[in-house]
Amino acid sequence: MMKVWEEYKFKIQAYTPDTLPMERFASYLRELALMLGESSYVHFVRLEPGSTVIVHKVDKEAVPKIRERTIAVKRGQGTVTEMRSYRQLNNLLREDNATGVLTGDNDAEIIQFPGKDEERTRFTSIQQHGEIDGEVIRVGGSKDIVPILLQVEGKEISHCYANRTLAKELAKNLFEPVRLYGEGRWERSDEGIWSLIHFDVNRFEVLKEISLSQTVIALRGLQGEWGEDALHEILRSRHADEEAH
């Protein structure tokens, strides 16, 4: 009888089937499934002893695609989702003080997961000039360097600071959109995400809440309420106001 599937194994050099926590097992399964893809054709079969071995089978029709995908992951050329799951599997193994390996039929090695043995590049923080757009939520503090709290795309950003003179001017624009300029220190996580550590504001500008282009788009949406020359009249009056100032 022709074999209609291939057996794969993900070997974790930690735990045993009796000691592997269910939540941890679910985390490994989830990331493994995301990395392999073809979810309708990949099936969990069993756990084997000898540390912990997750045995799963791949339906024959999906084997070529999964083979291509695992080769790409091994070369570091997988998709964003595949490479993220590969890194997450490595992170899980490192946290469990373990290593891992994915094998195919006849125990042929497909991907090594260094886990605890992986040499991790430590990224120190970098400092560079930058700018941050956001809404001023709070300006306060009794010291010479005053903390500023911004809201950026619905998230609060702290770690911004200005001298008292500049902070006093910023406070006049509470709950208004501004652009802060200054020197920032940024740090990158193991997942490649940059986060702000400290930002020294040296100047700012107030941003107009509704730009001219947004106004034009809004007016164009009001069908039937404006004559053909209405938009031109508004633009002329706006231009006249700007010249007057």
- Residues 72-90 have pLDDT tens digits of 888 888 888 888 889 989 8
Judged against a pLDDT cut of 50, whether residue 236 lies above it is answered with: yes
Same domain, 13 and 77: yes
Range of the domain at 57: 5-117
Residue where a domain stops, chosen among 91, 117, 143: 117
Q: What's the rounded Cα separation, in Å, for the pair 90 and 98?
A: 9
pLDDT at 226: 44
For residue range 129-157, list pLDDT tens digits in order.
888 999 999 998 778 899 999 998 888 88
Average pLDDT in the 8-18 region? 83
Long-range contacts of 216-222 (CB under 8 A, 24+ apart): none
Same domain, 93 and 158: no
pLDDT at 205: 93
- The count of domains in the chain is 3
Long-range contacts of 175-178 (CB under 8 A, 24+ apart): 175/135, 175/136, 175/137, 176/135, 176/136, 176/206, 176/207, 176/209, 177/133, 177/134, 177/135, 177/206, 177/207, 177/208, 177/209, 178/133, 178/134, 178/135, 178/136, 178/150, 178/204, 178/205, 178/206, 178/207
pLDDT at 190: 60
Same domain, 38 and 107: yes
Same domain, 100 and 150: no
Same domain, 93 and 57: yes
What does each C-alpha distance from 68 to 76, 107, 111 come to in angstroms?
12, 18, 12
Q: What's the rounded Cα separation, in Å, for the pair 10 and 107?
A: 10
pLDDT at 206: 93
More confident residue, 57 or 164: 164
For residue range 103-125, list pLDDT tens digits in order.
887 778 888 888 888 766 555 66
pLDDT at 121: 53
Same domain, 57 and 14: yes
For residue range 19-67, list pLDDT tens digits in order.
888 888 898 889 999 998 878 888 888 888 777 888 888 888 888 888 8
**Contact of 194 with 166, CB cutoff 8 Å:** no
Which residue type does 121 have?
A: T
User: Using 50, 70 and 90 to split pLDDT, how confident is the model at 203?
Assistant: very high
Average pLDDT in the 231-242 region? 50
Among residues of the chain, what percentage have pLDDT more than 70? Answer: 79
3-state secondary structure 58-94: EEHHHHHHHHHHHHHHHCCCCCHHHHHHHHHHHHHHH
pLDDT at 224: 43
Same domain, 199 and 222: no
Same domain, 176 and 85: no
Same domain, 83 and 29: yes
Same domain, 238 and 202: no
For residue range 166-184, list pLDDT tens digits in order.
999 999 999 999 999 999 8
Phi, psi of 153 (to 5 degrees): 50, 45
The CATH number for 182's domain is 2.40.50.140
Residue where a domain stops, chosen among 100, 117, 134: 117
Same domain, 108 and 138: no
**Which residues are CB-neighbours of 88 under 8 A, at least 6 positions away?**
31
Cα–chain-centroid distance for residue 93?
21
pLDDT at 4: 78
Same domain, 94 and 140: no
**Contact of 200 with 182, CB cutoff 8 Å:** yes
pLDDT at 191: 58
The CATH number for 64's domain is 3.30.70
For the record, the structure tokens of 72 come out as 């790409």
Q: What's the rounded Cα separation, in Å, for the pair 230 and 242?
A: 19
Residue where a domain stops, chosen among 206, 221, 236: 206
